[in-house]
Amino acid sequence: MRKILLILLVLTCVVGSLTFAAGAKEAPKAKQFKLSFSSVSVPNDAHTKAMYVFKENIEKLTNGQITVDVYHSGQLFTQEAQNPALQKGTLDMAYVDPNWLTDWVPYMSMFAAPYVFKSYEHMTKTFNSDFGRQIFEDVAKKANIRPLGAFYLGTRQLNLRDIGREVRTPADMKGVKLRMPNSPSWLLMGRALGANPTPLSFTEVYMGLKTGTIDGQDNPLPTDKNAKFYEVTKYIILTDHYINPLFPAINEAKWQSLGADLQAKMYQAIEEARKVCDKTNLDAEKELVEFFKSQGLTVIVPDKEAFIKYAREVVMGDKEATKNWDMNLFQKIQDLAK
């Protein structure tokens, strides 16, 4: 009898072990996510490097549940095609800025106006805060694109070929073919600088400057260096006309599919990438004026007040451009600079 009981006990344990093993084997695996992250930025740009910082951090934080494929230099999409792809979900992540969001959220154009931000601190205080999260929530609802934060692209300056004169006031920009991305708010910025704005994709700017298709372009100094625009230009004019935020953004449907836990880790990884991007560009801007001088460019400190006054008159005088501005929100943002 004892032998029978012992045999039954052993069989029970074996069956139990097999049942447990089968149950463990059937436990559902965590859903895997592969994100495509596209940019037209060149390899040495801080925000290109930040893409890899994000990739490394999110893959580590999620133990590989989220993986990221990085595409830079317009490998997947041009600047013009990128946002529609992001909105449709044929692209998961990309960098966007206020100018590119105005088609869906018209009041975002006020964040694309020249001299709207007084400093880097003013810009990042606006967007990397609960205040900014509310704006991004509104963008997500209306555009199906969710910005996850604001990186510092840099402060935009004018960069011109030899146009036969030095530029010190907006009047000196008359007739200058200034490259601008092809969106209404970008073209307005070109006019607000006194120029003749000329639409051209970023990947065509270098050749456009070299051949004279355009007379100049505007970008932060780190971009001018990394894209080697200094090789085909003569002047840097330090207008400081736009403290340029850049939003790493994700398709909204993809975002919602991640769930709260992975979303929190996405924010964490984005913040680490932002720190790298911002510090890299802030440090570079302190040194690049001397670099451009060493390359034979003439660096000009213009009449900045004249540019501010002219830009304000052009922008505020364009009722079509400002008709959708949220002036209460605009004033709150100006108050953040105090």
pLDDT digits (tens, 9 = 90+) for 133-161: 999 999 999 999 999 999 999 999 999 99
Tens of pLDDT along 44-54?
Answer: 999 999 999 99
- Whole-angstrom distance, CA of residue 68 vs CA of residue 153: 22
Find all residues with CB under 8 Å of 242, minimum gap 6, and list them: 112, 114, 115, 116, 117, 155, 156, 189, 218
Whether the pLDDT of residue 1 is over 70: the answer is: no
Provide the token pair at 57: 């951090």
Q: Which of 290, 304, 318 is nearest to 230 (CA)?
A: 290
Mean pLDDT of 103-112: 91
Whether the pLDDT of residue 6 is over 50: the answer is: no
Mean pLDDT of 19-26: 49
Band (183; pLDDT cuts 50, 70, 90): confident
Mean pLDDT of 219-243: 97
Distances in Å between the alpha carbon of 285 and those of 152, 185, 189?
Answer: 12, 25, 22
Architecture of domain 33-335: 3-Layer(aba) Sandwich (3.40)
**Residue ranges of domains in the chain:** 33-335
Which of 80-89, 141-150, 258-267 comes out lowest in average pLDDT? 80-89
Which of 10-24, 117-131, 236-250 comes out lowest in average pLDDT? 10-24
Mean pLDDT of 32-40: 97
Residue 125: left (phi > 0), alpha (psi -120 to 50), or beta? alpha
Helix, strand or coil for residue 58? helix
Tens of pLDDT along 273-307?
Answer: 999 999 999 999 999 999 999 999 999 999 999 99
Q: What percent of the chain has pLDDT over 70?
A: 92
Whether the pLDDT of residue 11 is over 80: the answer is: no
pLDDT of residue 214: 98
Contact 209, 232 (CB under 8 A): yes
Whether the pLDDT of residue 22 is over 50: the answer is: no
pTM of the entire predicted model = 0.85
| Residue-averaged pLDDT of the chain | 91
pLDDT of residue 27: 55
